[in-house]
Amino acid sequence: MTKRPITVALLAMPGVTAGTLYGFHDCLSGVHRDWSLLHGGDAESPFRSLIVSRDGRPLEAANGVRITPDASFEACESPDVVCVTDIAVPPGEPLGDDYDPEVAWLRERHDQGAILASSCSGAVLLARTGFLEGLDATSHWAYCDALSREYPRTRWHPERGLLFAGAGQRIVMAGSGIAWHQLVMALISRFAGAEAAMQVARINLIDWAATSPIAYASLRHGAQASDPPVAAAQAWAAENYRHEAPVAQMVAVSGLAERTFKRRFAQATGMGPLDYVHHLRLEEAKQMLESGEASIEAVAYEVGYRDASFFNRLFRRKVLMSPTQYRRRFGALRSRLREARTALGA
Output the 3-class SS for the chain.
CCCCCEEEEEECCCCCCHHHHHHHHHHHHCCCHHHHHHHCCCCCCCEEEEEEECCCCCEECCCCCEECCCEECCCCCCCCEEEECCCCCCCCCCCCCCCHHHHHHHHHHHHCCCEEEEEHHHHHHHHCCCCCCCCEECCCCCCHHHHHHHCCCCEECCCCCEEEECHHHCEEEECCHHHHHHHHHHHHHHHHCHHHHHHHHHHHCCCCCCCCHHHHCCCCCCCCCCCHHHHHHHHHHHHHCCCCCHHHHHHHHHCCCHHHHHHHHHHHHCCCHHHHHHHHHHHHHHHHHHHCCCCHHHHHHHHCCCCHHHHHHHHHHHHCCCHHHHHHHHHHHHHHHHHHHHHCCC
pLDDT at 172: 92
Cα–Cα distance for residue pair 346/338, rounded to 1 Å = 9
Q: Is the pTM of this model over 0.75?
A: no
- Residue 9's φ and ψ, nearest 5 degrees, are -95, 120
Cα–Cα distance for residue pair 306/320, rounded to 1 Å = 21
Cα–Cα distance for residue pair 128/168, rounded to 1 Å = 20
**How many C-beta atoms lie closer than 10 Å to residue 80's C-beta?**
19
Cα–Cα distance for residue pair 159/282, rounded to 1 Å = 17
Q: What is the chain's pLDDT, residue by residue, as a tens digit (346 residues)?
A: 347 899 999 999 988 999 999 999 999 999 999 888 887 778 899 999 999 999 999 999 988 999 999 999 999 989 999 999 999 998 888 888 999 999 999 999 999 999 999 999 999 999 999 999 999 999 998 899 899 999 999 999 988 888 899 888 899 999 877 778 888 888 998 898 888 888 888 888 776 665 566 555 555 555 567 889 999 999 899 889 999 899 999 999 999 999 999 999 988 888 899 999 999 999 899 888 888 888 999 999 999 999 999 999 999 998 888 999 888 887 776 776 666 667 655 5
CA 109 from centroid of its chain's CA atoms: 24
Please, what are the domains in the chain? Answer: 6-216 (3.40.50.880), 228-343 (1.10.10.60)
Crossing angle (nearest 10°) for helices 258-269 and 273-291: 60
pLDDT at 333: 67
CA 320 from centroid of its chain's CA atoms: 16
Q: Which residues contact 1 (CB under 8 A, 6 or more apart)?
A: none
Cα–Cα distance for residue pair 172/185, rounded to 1 Å = 12
Q: Strands 162-165 and 155-156: what pairing?
A: unpaired
**How many C-beta atoms lie closer than 10 Å to residue 170's C-beta?**
16
Cα–Cα distance for residue pair 164/188, rounded to 1 Å = 14
Which of 140, 275, 283, 279 is CA-nearest to residue 213? 140
Cα–Cα distance for residue pair 227/24, rounded to 1 Å = 42
Cα–Cα distance for residue pair 70/181, rounded to 1 Å = 23
Residue type, 282: L
pLDDT at 1: 37
pLDDT at 101: 95
pLDDT at 175: 85
pLDDT at 219: 56
pLDDT at 223: 59
